[in-house]
Structures are given as structure tokens and as C-alpha cells.
């Protein structure tokens, strides 16, 4: 083993653990040392659970020595966004409103990971209640981008993105209601998946918008992501949104590449509807050319304008988030960060008629995407329209945060993945693309993402030490 353990992708660490060439204790110890070195600059963690995680790692090591690993995640450290319940620990949602809340049980997805043998080193920073940020008037500082700590890491799964990109952890969980897994994956140079709606249980995850929320894996490679999803996915009768769909081996087609796949390029999202920065636009064109060189057929497809998807998402998210937060907004409005309160309050004024009309239009938007999939196997689009801006530039954060093409697939529920596709010249920050598949076609999505990842030069790039 030539690389430090914390630098290993999940799959490589798992293979070494299975071969008895790396122990879970060695892996966790190296991750904890990395956290100690970098955390003062990145603020990725809300709560570090060093002693508990070490006990889990020792137990995993002993069990593996007796009979081998339970799964590829046995002994692997996985971080949890702090809206995801971990039994016996606070789920603060990065908010003073939840400082005293202690989870009585693991979230369903945590229970699945625990059964697979994963280790949980800590709870990770988020934007307050996952509705956007960063905010500097909260009990915890906002996470920062490991590629340049002066810059935004994306959100709301900001700590998850920062921790995995900085090689503090091999994997983390985020949540995605309007792009909150794919946004930090894009800005931090990671692989981030929003699964098909209902494939992964949300039980034990604090809700933002019931019909838009997803839980997704964030990793450094496509294979790692597929391994994590294979443990996370599956039906849950206690989640009303569960699709009752069994997990699959999502790694089965990773070797097949993109040859023969028909990929529809939604150019109008970033060319006409919301013009992207020249660097992002050029990176997307280069990615399309590379996919074509690898054997995919690329053709333009047209969907409804990006603004229509955004308007539907805004109405639904606003109304559903207001339903979650109504009591606190009436009784404790001053306990929210200023930005969080500003984003939540408009939802109190979405009428029942507006909500119903948004859901009706949503059905039509789903049908439009389904019609596109009758002609192509996958869709390619922008993720963010701009590289990450400075985290302390409130005006630029506000301008760029909504300049993205992730929201459409929260509205429609289709699985979508962000993969690194370039580096900005001026700041040396990651750029990302988005691939989208038909419902429950995650294995196909991973196949294409892995084919691109192998052919592109970005996989081995990482933030420079600082």
C-alpha cells in the first residue's frame, strides 16, 4: 500500500481490508489525523465522534479477523449530514432550534449502513435545515471548499462535500431537494448521486419538502458511489414515499463503457435558458465530444424551459417547507439565521390553489422527460452554471446559488449524478456535469458515469494541501 489510508477511495480501502492488508482501525486513525490537520480551516464537522467511531472500528477489525467482512463497507468511515439521525446523538440541522434534539434511533439509511459494518466518525455541517446558505449567524460556522477555503463548497450538503473532497473520509451521505447532493459534488470535484425518488428511505431524516427530498451518496469515484448505494437502497414500509424497490448490484455494468448509448444533450438549459459561464459551457462541450469519442451517440434534446422546472420546484418546496416549519416560524422566528428565515417565509403565502397547480404542472414536466427517454438512453446537462464563488461574497452567492440545472430532476424524480468535468482556469476550482437516467436505471447511470470517468483526466485530481 503506497498511499496513506485516508487517500484511498472506498473500493480500494475495502479491498485492502478484505485482504487483511489494512485494518479498520488504521484507516480510521489516518482519517482522524487528517481531520485534525484540516478541520480548523474547513469546518466540515459539527460533531466529531472519535471515541465511538474507534470502538466501532475495533469491533469491525475483530469481526473481520474472525470471518471476513460483511460487505464492502465493513470498517469504512462514512460521514453523515447533520439532518440524518444517528442514535444517541443530536441532529441539529445546523440550527439553534435543534441544539437540544437527540435522536432516539438511527435513520433507516444509517441502520442499513450500520448493518453493513460502516463506521460513523461524525456529523457534518449543512446549511440550516438544508435550505441554503452559507450563514454566518448560526451556532456553527459554514463549511468551506477544500480546493480553496475562501470559496463556497456548494450546499446544502456542504460538510459532506468538504470532508470527502479533503480526504477526511472516503464517503458521506447528503440530502437533495433541489440539488443539495449534486451542488457540493460539483463544486468539490466529487461524484454525487440523487437516486430515483423513493429508492432510498428518508425515515429519520429531517424533512425539507416531502415530495422532493432524496438521500444520496457522495464519494470520490463512481464505483465507490455504486457500492454505497447498494447498501443504502431498498424499500421501507415506514417511509410513505418509499418505492418498495429492492436494491441491486449497481456495480455490475461499470466496465461496459458508453459505447452504443444514446445520450441527449440538453444544451438549451445552459445556452439559452440560463447562459452558463464560458468555462462551464466549454467543459460541457468537451465532455460531449469525449463521450462521442468513446462510442456514445450524442444528440440535442429539448425539454420545457429550465425556468418552468424551477418555478414548480419553488412553489412545492416553499409550501411543503412552510408546513414543516410553521410553528417555529410563528413562535421562534428570531432563532433562524436571517437567510434561512428569508427563504422559508415566502412558503407561508403559497396558496392551496398554487400548490395544486404546481403539482399538476409537475405531472406534465415528468411526462416531457419520459418522452425524451423514449428517444435516448440518458440525458446530459449542466450542473452548476458557474464555478464556486467566494464564500464571503454574499451578493455573488445569492446570484449564483440558483444558477443550476439540478432542480428539474427533483421535480421529476429521475436519478441524476454529478461528475467532475474540468477545472476553472482563474481559481483552479472543479467544474461538473450532470447525467440523468430513467427511473430506477441507476446501474445504467453508473455505467455511463464510470465510462466518462475512465476516459477523462479528472479522476486523479485532488485539492492541493493547504
Q: Which residues are catalytic?
A: 81, 156, 180
Q: Which three cell numbers stand for residue 52?
A: 465511538
* Bridge partners, 174 (sequence order): 216
Q: Which three cell numbers stand for residue 27?
A: 484507516
By the 8 A CB rule, do 407 and 179 touch? yes
Q: Which whole-number Å values give the CA distances from 52 to 49, 62, 233, in the listed order?
A: 6, 16, 25
3-state secondary structure of 53: helix
Lay out the sheet containing 122-124: strands in order across: 45-48, 122-124, 78-81, 171-176, 214-219, 191-194, 416-423, 430-436, 378-382, 262-265, 297-300
For the beta carbon of residue 260, count every other beta carbon within 10 angstroms: 10
CB neighbour burial string for 46-77, b if at least 16 within 10 angstroms, e if fewer: bbbbeebbbebbbebbebbeeeebbbbbbbbb
Cα–Cα dist 94/96, whole Å? 7
Q: Which whole-number Å values give the CA distances from 118 to 14, 80, 110, 121, 293, in the listed order?
A: 11, 11, 9, 10, 39
Amino acid at each position: 500500500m503506497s498511499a496513506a489510508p485516508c487517500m484511498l477511495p472506498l473500493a480500494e480501502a475495502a479491498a485492502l481490508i478484505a485482504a487483511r492488508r489494512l485494518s479498520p482501525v488504521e484507516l480510521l486513525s489516518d482519517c482522524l489525523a487528517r481531520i485534525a490537520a484540516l478541520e480548523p480551516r474547513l469546518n466540515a464537522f459539527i460533531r466529531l465522534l472519535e471515541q465511538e467511531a474507534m470502538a466501532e472500528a475495533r469491533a469491525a477489525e475483530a469481526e473481520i479477523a474472525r470471518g471476513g467482512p460483511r460487505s464492502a463497507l465493513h470498517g469504512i468511515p462514512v460521514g453523515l449530514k447533520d439532518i440524518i439521525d444517528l442514535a444517541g446523538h443530536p441532529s441539529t440541522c445546523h440550527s439553534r432550534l435543534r441544539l437540544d434534539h437527540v435522536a432516539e434511533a438511527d435513520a433507516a439509511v444509517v441502520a442499513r449502513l450500520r448493518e453493513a459494518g460502516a463506521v460513523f466518525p461524525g456529523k457534518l455541517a449543512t446549511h440550516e435545515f438544508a435550505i441554503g446558505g452559507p450563514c454566518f449567524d448560526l451556532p456553527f460556522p459554514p463549511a468551506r471548499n477544500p480546493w480553496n477555503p475562501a470559496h463556497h463548497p456548494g450546499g446544502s450538503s456542504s460538510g459532506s462535500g468538504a470532508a470527502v473532497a479533503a480526504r477526511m473520509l472516503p464517503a458521506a451521505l447528503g440530502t437533495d431537494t433541489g440539488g443539495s447532493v449534486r451542488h457540493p459534488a460539483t463544486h468539490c470535484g466529487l461524484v454525487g448521486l440523487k437516486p430515483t425518488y423513493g429508492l432510498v428511505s428518508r425515515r429519520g431524516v429531517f424533512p425539507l419538502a416531502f415530495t422532493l427530498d432524496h438521500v444520496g451518496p457522495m464519494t470520490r469515484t463512481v464505483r465507490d458511489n455504486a457500492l454505497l448505494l447498494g447498501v443504502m437502497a431498498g424499500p421501507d414500509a415506514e417511509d410513505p414515499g418509499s418505492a418498495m424497490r429492492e436494491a441491486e448490484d449497481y456495480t455490475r455494468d461499470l466496465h461496459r463503457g458508453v459505447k452504443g448509448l444514446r445520450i441527449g444533450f440538453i444544451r438549451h438549459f445552459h445556452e439559452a435558458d440560463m447562459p452558463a459561464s464560458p468555462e462551464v459551457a466549454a467543459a460541457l462541450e468537451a465532455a460531449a465530444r469525449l463521450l462521442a469519442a468513446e462510442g456514445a451517440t450524442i444528440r440535442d434534446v429539448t425539454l420545457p424551459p429550465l425556468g418552468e422546472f424551477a418555478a414548480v420546484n419553488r412553489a412545492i418546496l416553499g409550501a411543503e417547507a412552510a408546513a414543516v416549519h410553521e410553528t417555529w416560524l410563528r413562535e421562534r422566528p428570531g432563532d433562524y439565521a436571517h437567510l434561512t428565515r428569508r427563504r422559508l417565509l415566502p412558503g407561508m403565502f403559497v396558496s392551496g390553489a398554487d400548490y395544486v397547480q404546481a403539482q399538476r404542472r409537475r405531472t406534465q414536466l415528468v411526462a416531457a422527460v419520459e418522452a425524451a427517454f423514449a428517444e435516448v438512453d440518458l440525458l446530459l446537462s449542466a450542473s452548476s452554471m458557474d464555478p464556486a464563488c467566494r464564500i464571503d461574497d454574499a451578493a455573488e452567492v445569492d446570484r449564483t446559488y440558483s444558477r443550476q440545472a439540478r432542480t428539474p430532476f427533483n421535480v421529476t424524480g429521475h436519478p441524476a449524478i454529478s461528475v467532475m468535468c474540468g477545472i476553472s482556469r482563474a481559481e483552479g476550482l472543479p467544474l461538473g456535469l450532470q447525467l440523468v437516467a430513467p427511473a430506477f436505471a441507476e446501474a445504467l447511470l453508473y455505467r455511463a458515469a464510470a465510462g466518462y470517468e475512465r476516459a477523462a483526466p479528472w479522476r486523479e485530481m485532488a485539492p492541493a494541501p493547504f
